[in-house]
Amino acid sequence: MKPHQAAEKAGVAFLGSVSLQGSEVSRFQLENGLTILMLVDKSAPVVAYFTWYGVGSRHEKHGKTGLAHLFEHLMFNETESLKAGQFDRKLEEAGAETNAATWFDWTYYYEAIPKAALPLAIKLEADRMAHLVLRAPQVASEKEVVANERRYRVDDDVDGIMNEVLYKTAFQKHPYHWPTIGWMVDIENFTPEDCQAFYRTYYAPNNATVVVVGDFDTARTLAKIKEEYGDFARADIPPEDTIPEPVQLEERRIEMNKPTPTDKLMIGYHGPALGDPEHAPLTVLGEVLFGGRASRLHRLLVIEKEIASEARAWTSTFRDPGLFEISAVAREGHSADEILAIVDQTFEAMKSDVPTEQEVARAKARLELGTLQALDTASGKAEQIGFFETVCGDPAGVFRRLDAIRRVKPGDVRRVARRFLDAKARTIVIAHPEAT
């Protein structure tokens, strides 16, 4: 049955299809605004069911940071029809795997399930979209869980606190300034009323995209989704009030003493948004410099000069301009400043001369392999479809990005090095060993 026929049979709107490497992702929508993206893949009798909400820590306000992440926990708690723990228990009994994630731009929940359990996943996800219990005991319990998570992952973790300080320092106005997990004082002061207001605003069908990938019948699944979600009301989603980050005009440097055996270094250069045409060549630049044992800076820092035990880079995949992040760990007897000097020398060389064709080809091959491996499973496909739909408005964005990476030339790599690797517009965070 064709997608438009399935939509007509189920009584939902069919909004078209896009190609995804030989398959089709079909877009449907309920009258209340719930978007549904479907990809039929009968290679295994399993289904991935993802629910992406257009809310992350960027949608929070000063004094209320961490609410988006708190909901990642609250959503596994109690609903009006299910006691705490029953959501997970029902899915586990059906052979399902379930989890969630939150970041700056988005929140998602997923189930990886045997095909026969798809109706159960639909019913349970719909239930917690509209009927979550947010009274004082539930909120207090999850606040304590999140506070402990913050202590473990940030306050008592050197890498965690350095990354938090990096973003806090690099971003002065944009909400990427605060961590997704939230500031501790905000976590401790959340009230049930805060949670109810956030839930009523953002956990609504017109702020959600359901992604279904795997072995399922399109018409029956659409009918089930309409049955479970169709009566939910739209929410009044407020327009974003995001302040663009001003241009950074001088180096910002933070040094701290932490329980680390050797120096640790993080550097953040302001970079492009995921949807920017310059994102692909900057990602290739990161691979040329830091991707694998043959990359320039891994070879220099770790293998030849032996002053670092590890060195890596990442170009942030955010809706708005983010950071080109670099991190390195010094070997005993060496310092973060030694590493920084070699990084700077290598960056200047990259701005002067184009990388070799071999370097660029190797970097692109590594990136292509990683992308294709992420699409091996139904869950991998559903995650990539939902991610690019939520961040870029394009469910096939993963392949448009792959095509963009394949088109990168050595001259493009030099151009982005000249544009983005500006020492006057970077942030440096160094952790030194505490005195003993």
Residue 352: its pLDDT value, please? 96
Residue ranges covered by each domain of the chain: 3-229, 252-433
Distance between alpha carbon 91 and the CA centroid of its chain, in Å?
25
Angle at 380 between CA 152 and CA 401, to 5 degrees: 100
The H-or-E segment that residue 230 falls in is none
Superfamily of domain 252-433: Metalloenzyme, LuxS/M16 peptidase-like (3.30.830.10)
Residue 23: its pLDDT value, please? 83
Residue 436: its pLDDT value, please? 66
* Selection from 301, 314, 268, 272 nearest residue 412 by Cα: 272
Q: Which two tokens stand for residue 20?
A: 């995804």
Those residues with Cβ within 8 angstroms of residue 118's Cβ, 6 or more apart along the chain or in another chain:
47, 49, 212, 216, 221, 224
**98 vs 90: CA distance, rounded Å:** 11
Residue 428: its pLDDT value, please? 98
CA end-to-end distance (rounded Å), the chain: 71
Residue 410: its pLDDT value, please? 98
Residue 22: its pLDDT value, please? 76
Which residue has tokens 């609504």? Answer: 204
Q: Do domains 3-229 and 252-433 have the same CATH topology?
A: yes
Contact 432, 265 (CB under 8 A): no
* Selection from 389, 363, 387, 362 nearest residue 374 by Cα: 387
Q: By CB neighbour count within 10 A (0-12 exposed, 13-18 middle, 19+ buried), where does 351 fall?
A: middle
Residues (pLDDT < 70) of the chain are 436
pLDDT in tens, 73-110: 999 999 999 999 999 999 999 999 999 999 999 999 99
Superfamily of domain 3-229: Metalloenzyme, LuxS/M16 peptidase-like (3.30.830.10)
Helix, strand, coil in percent for the chain, rounding step 5: 45, 20, 30
Q: Which two tokens stand for residue 190?
A: 């959340």
**249 vs 169: CA distance, rounded Å:** 13
> In whole angstroms, how far apart are CA 181 and each of 146, 151, 152, 234, 368?
8, 11, 12, 27, 31
